[in-house]
Amino acid sequence: MSVALHEEHAHDPAHIRKVAMWVFLGSECLLFGTLISTFLLYRTRTGSGPTAADVFDIPFTSVSSFILLMSSLTMVLAHHSSVRKDYRQMRLWLVATALLGVTFLAGQVFEFTEFVHEGLTVTTSPFGSSFFVLTSFHGAHVAVGVLMLLVTALMSFTGKWRPDAGMDVELVGLYWHFVDIVWIVIFTVVYLLQV
């Protein structure tokens, strides 16, 4: 944050937007921090409903977590292609990332239906409330990310392709990776540690 650094970057739009994105992501940490600690407070308050050990299916969640983790690889490859101005490749990786994201979401939908069948809903107990609200809040972030990925891929076909658009892929990427690292924490704290 020295003067030199500042002047070097002066009014580089890519830099400005990245600063904003990192600031925003710092704020998001507190958002998920609140949700996760609510869960931690309520993790054993299951009332007469099922407990974490009753419903969680670790092998299944491990696979879907792994899928989301790998979507970070495809994302960073998309960014790399956009830096090299290889937009065909970039689109492929973007769509691949979106598909992995959709697969993760489908897994979440499946998991939720299973849990409901086993008697855990959002109203069953504070455990149920905090689990469902945390994971679906994260799911909503994934869904927004998928939307942004697809729009970015589509936009790259149109004439609206701005010279600094390579940055847009980078910004979407930062968001996407962030959603991934939040899940890394959730997977450990909410799933693995509770069974």
Partner 1 sequence: MTETAHHRGMWRWLTTTDHKKIGILYGITAMGFFVVGGIEALFIRLQLATPNGEILSADAYNQLFTMHATTMVFLVVMPAAAALTNYFLPILIGARDVAFPRLNAFSYWVFVAGGLFLTVSFFVGGAPDGGWFGYAPLSTQVTEVVRMDYWALGLQVLGLASVLSSVNFITTVFTMRAPGMSLMRMPVFAWMATVVSFLLLFSLPIITIGLLQVFLDRNLGTGFYSAASGGDPVLWQHLFWLFGHPEVYVLILPAMGIVSEVLPTFSRKPLFGRSFVIFSGIAIGFMGFGVWAHHMFTAGLGPVAEAAFSLTTMFIAVPTGVKIFNWLGTIWGGSIRLKTPMLFSLGFIFLFVIGGLSGVTHSIVPSDAQQHDTYYVVAHFHYVLFGGAVFGIFSGLYYWWPKVTGKLLNERIGRLHFWLMFIGMNLTFAPMHILGLNGMPRRTYRYAEGLGLDLWNLVATIGSFTIAASLLVFFWNWYRTAKHGQPAGDDPWDGRTLEWSISSPPPEHNFDVIPVVHSEDDFWHRKYTENEAGHAVTVTAVPSAPAAEGPIHLPSPSYYPALASSGIFVLLLGLVYLPWGLIAVGAGAVVTMWGLFGWSMEPLTREDHG
Partner 2 sequence: MAQQRPHPRPRDYWVVALILAVITAAEVSVTYIDFLDAAVAPMLLVMAAAKFAIVVGWFMHLRFDAPMYRRLFLIGVIAAPILFAAVLFSFGVLIG
Rounded to a whole number of angstroms, the minimum distance from the CB of residue 161 to partner 1 is 12
Q: Which long-range contacts (CB under 8 A, 24 or more apart) does 41-45 make?
A: 41/130, 42/125, 42/126, 42/127, 42/129, 42/130, 43/127, 43/130, 43/194, 44/127, 45/125, 45/126, 45/127
Partner from partner 2, partner 1, none contacting 8, C-beta within 5 to 8 A by type: partner 2
CA distance readout (Å), 126 to 2, 25, 133? 48, 28, 10
Partner from partner 1, partner 2, none contacting 99, C-beta within 5 to 8 A by type: none
Contact indicator for 62, 71 with CB cutoff of 8 Å: no
Residue 157 as a binder of partner 1 (CB under 8 A): the answer is no
Residue 177 as a binder of partner 1 (CB under 8 A): the answer is no
Query: Given the rule CB under 8 A, which residues bind partner 2?
Result: 1, 5, 8-9, 12, 14-15, 18-19, 22-23, 25-30, 32-34, 36-37, 40-41, 58-59, 62, 65-66, 69-70, 72-73, 75-77, 80, 83, 173-174, 177-178, 180-181, 184-185, 187-189, 192-193, 195
Residue 160 as a binder of partner 1 (CB under 8 A): the answer is yes
Contact indicator for 178, 28 with CB cutoff of 8 Å: yes
In the numeric block, the tokens 């993760």 are attached to 104
Rounded to a whole number of angstroms, the minimum distance from the CB of residue 107 to partner 2 is 15
Q: In angstroms, rounded to a whole number, what is the distance separating the alpha carbons of residues 112 and 120?
A: 9
Q: Which of 107, 137, 103 is CA-nearest to residue 122? A: 137
**Quick one: 30 or 88, whose CB is closer to partner 2?**
30
> Phi, psi (5° rounding) for residue 50?
-65, 155
Size of the site for partner 1 (CB under 8 A): 37
- Return residues touching partner 1 (CB under 8 A): 1-3, 6-7, 9-11, 15-16, 19-20, 23-24, 26-31, 33-35, 38, 41-42, 45, 47, 122-123, 125-126, 128-130, 133, 160
